[in-house]
């Protein structure tokens, strides 16, 4: 059996889809499972063992007919038995119909798109996103509850994290990890996910006053060098770690006592690793992006502007005061 899933979105969206892929693999252990993902999100599958191949396609780009025709050819030539689509664009349903894939599953709601799908399931966007994605399996008669997020960190990435902790002078001591940056796409689109350096500075200084021996480490990703430079200038005692990929990022998160972050891919990795997480949200809804658990707390801005979250509100949740 051959299965393909079309999964638009960034790394966080892919991680939220992992429980669906894991259940597909459990149900069809001998199946070849491939995913069509945007190039920016391909790295997520470094920590997923349920996928055989990633096929790059930029759903967000202004694709020409030739681009769509190329994707059509790739899918058709592989003779998939089942296709799942997370998007609701009628054109994707039409493309899957053209591929001749016998079972084509997607969400109900788009009348034009539904014409080209064989099985549809209700779209319930008010629930946790991982559960919403998992609902697609109902189109295959799989009605089990959505499992918890889970990832598999490669051994070489765990070894890198161990060496990185030694470099930072924190081997085995535990630490608080801060991720305050945002993806380049979010910044280009003006999506409000960056908590200002001044507010982070207040939080960091409070930690340093209350727990002077607790290491504070800030993650520097490829899109947030400017943020990290400003934060370390304001807080010179911060340690900086620059994981080169999702596997190494997951490994450094796994060793933390607490992750302080905004709505981002590291937040989803921390959920999968069961690391205590305090995440800040602007316009997005914590209930849709965090599972119900005492380990994962989302603080939503009262104005939907993330900068309007008072640092004292964050610190109150940290210290329980």
Report the C-alpha gap between 219 and 114 in whole angstroms.
Answer: 43
pLDDT above 60 for 102:
yes
Report the C-alpha gap between 303 and 307 in whole angstroms.
Answer: 9
At 253-265, the pLDDT tens digits run: 999 999 999 999 9
Report the C-alpha gap between 53 and 34 in whole angstroms.
Answer: 5
Question: Which of 3.30.360.10, 3.30.70.100, 3.40.50.2000, 3.30.200.20 is the CATH number of 2-140?
Answer: 3.40.50.2000
At 213-234, the pLDDT tens digits run: 999 999 998 888 889 999 999 9
Domain ranges (residues) in the chain: 2-140, 155-319
Grouping H, G, I as helix, E, B as strand and the rest as coil, residue 294 is coil
Report the candidate in 221, 147, 142, 146 with the shortest Cα–Cα distance to residue 177: 221
Question: Quick one: DSSP state of residue 145?
Answer: P
Between 85-94, 111-120, 163-172, 284-293, the lowest mean confidence (pLDDT) is in 111-120
At 117-143, the pLDDT tens digits run: 999 999 999 999 999 999 999 999 999
CA triple 71-1-132, angle to 5 deg: 70
pLDDT for the residue 185: 52
* DSSP string across 175-202: -EEEE----HHHHHHT------HHHHHH
- Roughly how many angstroms between the first and final C-alpha of the chain, as a whole number? 55
Report the C-alpha gap between 311 and 309 in whole angstroms.
Answer: 6
Q: How many CB atoms lie within 10 A of CB 110?
A: 19
Q: Do domains 2-140 and 155-319 have the same CATH topology?
A: yes
Give the CATH superfamily of 155-319. Glycogen Phosphorylase B; (3.40.50.2000)
């Amino acid at each position: 059996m051959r299965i393909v899933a079309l999964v638009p979105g960034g790394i966080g969206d892919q991680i939220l889809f992992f429980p669906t892929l894991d259940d597909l693999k459990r149900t069809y252990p001998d199946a070849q499972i491939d995913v069509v993902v945007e190039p920016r999100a391909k790295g997520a599958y470094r920590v997923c063992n349920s996928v055989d191949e990633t096929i790059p396609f930029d759903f967000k780009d202004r694709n020409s007919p030739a681009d769509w025709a190329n994707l059509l050819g790739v899918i058709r030539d592989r003779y998939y038995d089942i296709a799942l689509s997370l998007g609701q664009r009628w054109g994707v349903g039409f493309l899957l119909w053209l591929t001749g894939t016998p079972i084509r599953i997607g969400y109900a709601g788009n009348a034009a798109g539904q014409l080209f799908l064989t099985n549809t399931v209700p779209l319930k966007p008010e629930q946790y996103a991982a559960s919403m994605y998992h609902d697609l399996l109902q189109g295959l008669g799989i009605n089990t509850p959505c499992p918890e997020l889970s990832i598999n960190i490669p051994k070489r990435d765990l070894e890198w994290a161990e060496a990185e902790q030694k470099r930072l002078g924190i081997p085995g001591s535990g630490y608080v990890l801060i991720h305050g940056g945002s993806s380049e796409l979010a910044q280009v689109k003006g999506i409000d996910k960056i908590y200002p350096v001044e507010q982070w500075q207040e939080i960091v200084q409070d930690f340093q006053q209350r727990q002077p021996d607790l290491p504070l480490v800030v993650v520097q990703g490829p899109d947030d060098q400017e943020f990290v430079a400003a934060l370390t200038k304001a807080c010179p005692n911060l340690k900086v770690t620059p994981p080169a990929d999702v596997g190494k990022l997951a490994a450094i998160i796994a060793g933390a006592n607490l992750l302080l972050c905004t709505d981002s891919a590291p937040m989803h990795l921390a959920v999968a690793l069961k690391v205590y997480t305090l995440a800040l949200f602007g316009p997005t809804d914590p209930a849709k992006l965090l599972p119900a658990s005492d380990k994962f707390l989302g603080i939503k801005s009262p104005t939907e502007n993330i900068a309007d979250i008072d640092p004292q509100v964050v610190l109150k949740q940290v210290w329980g005061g």
